[in-house]
Structures are given as structure tokens and as C-alpha cells.
Amino acid sequence: MMNPSSLYPQIEAALRCCDVSAKLAATEALHVAWQAGQLQRLEAGLTRLPVAGHPDKPELVHATKVPRRRPGSPQGQPAMLHAIAHIEFNAVNLALDAAWRFRDMPDAFVSDWLRIAAEEARHFRLLQQRLQQLGYAYGDFPAHNGLWEICHHTDHDVLVRMALVPRVLEARGLDASPELKRKLVNIGDHASAAILDIILQDEIGHVQVGNHWFHWLCRERGQDPASTFMALLDEHDLTVHRGSYNLDARRRAGFTEAELAWLQHAKSTQSV
């Protein structure tokens, strides 16, 4: 029987769980129990998780095979919301994995990522409810597994994870949010736009957490943050963001003016 005071087996159980409702409930309960001091970091064993638990639907396909629909077209509105919900579902798994995997990090790191996992679960619930209001459900549209794949590419080093997931992938979500909201408002979907506002405010905090721990790790290892970040982008063949930057959100998330200037310069010199 699982020791109820042991943190890591409970995170692993939530991470492996395939039932959506059970995964969300377990994630939220983990955060509450950790905050209440009811869980301890006891287990030393660590295994490589081949895949996080997910339901039979949505069907997972290559990113290029996910149909692109305009928000004003038939099914375009729910398809967009479904895509965002899928990102949030994967973000739950990514946050749980960070708390579970990187066991040399301080307790504050665990607190941050369990809180983020619970917030991502809340985002998913909001989008799931909105889809239901529109007559759809999570799983009704195909999706891709790119976010979980980046988890594997960064599972060997917490500094790499903090550099590439919060500072690249989640920061791109900050950049995309205004345009997604505009599209929803243009078709009169103010209810969904309000959900995006909630998500954006929380995601600024999530990127800020990633920025904090990336810079903390660079200081601990005596590495320069700017050159380290540029080297990792090159090593993992990641380009800078193609579209407009949400500079206000990125500033609030902890990006420095020097970093923002470099990102904008790098974009102007890349044919992407």
C-alpha cells in the first residue's frame, strides 16, 4: 500500500493516471497536501517515464496532421478551444514531472511546480466546461504530443528544462494569447475570451517561475544566463518566436530588457 506521507509515489500516480477527472483531482489534492505539510520527500528511486497517462481520446497525431480551422468556420471555435485545452492538459503533466523528477532542487521548487500543476488543472477545467457549453468534449478533435516530447528531451537536466519549457514554449503562449483572444472576440465569443484572460495572468506567473529557477541554476553553476540560453536554443534546434512578442507579459514574467532586445534582434535576422 502506498505510504500516504510519501510525495513521489503520489506524484507518479497522478502523472501516470489516464482518466482525466481522476488526474485533475489527484493533482489538486497533491498541491493541497504538500502545502499543508502532509507529504514528505522520502523516495530516492527514479525511473524514466516513457509516457504520461492520457485518455484514449483525443487521437494523437503528428503536429502537421492536426487540421487547421478558422475560428469563424464550422467547428473552428471549439477546435481552437480544444487545442488550448490539450496544451493545458499536457502542462499538468509537465508540471507534475518537474516536481517528481528533479529531486536535488529545494522544497520551494516542488512548491512552485505543484502549484503550477494545480493551476493548469484549473485552466483545463475552465476550457472543458466551455467546450461542454458549446456541445463538445475533450477528445472530439485530434491533437499532437509535442509538449510531452519536449519533456523527454529535457529530462536529463533541470536547467535545460527551465530554459526550454517555461522560457520558450510557455513564453510563446504569452505571445499568442492576444491574437487568440482577438479571434474569439471577433466571432462574439466573449466567454471564451474571458477564460484566456484568466489563463494569461496565471501563465505570466508560470513563466516567471521558470525564469527564476533558470537564473538561480545559472548562478549555482557559474554560467552566464544569456550565452547558456542561446547555446541551448542552438543545441535543440529551436528558433525564436515567429510572430509578435507580448513584451508587457514577458517583462512581467521576468524577461530583462537585454533578453527582449536580443530576442527581437534574433527574429529580425532569421528567415523563419
Query: 143 forms bridges with which residues in the sheet?
Result: 60
Summarised one tens digit per residue, pLDDT across range 133-175 is 999 999 999 888 777 778 888 999 999 999 999 999 999 999 9
| Spacing of C-alpha 107 from chain mean position | 20
Summarised one tens digit per residue, pLDDT across range 242-253 is 678 999 999 999
CATH fold for the domain made of 76-269: Ferritin (1.20.1260)
Q: Rounded to whole angstroms, how far apart are CA atoms 73 and 75?
A: 6
Supply 156's cell numbers. Answer: 536529463
Closest CA to 160 of 92, 110, 204, 223: 223
Break the chain into its structural domains and give their ranges.
Answer: 76-269
Summarised one tens digit per residue, pLDDT across range 169-202 is 999 999 999 999 999 999 999 999 999 999 999 9
Residue 224 reports pLDDT greater than 80: yes
> What HEC string does 198-267 produce?
HHHHHHHHHHHHHHHHHHHHHHHHCCCHHHHHHHHHHHCCCCCCCCCCCHHHHHHCCCCHHHHHHHHHHH
Higher pLDDT, 58 or 272: 58
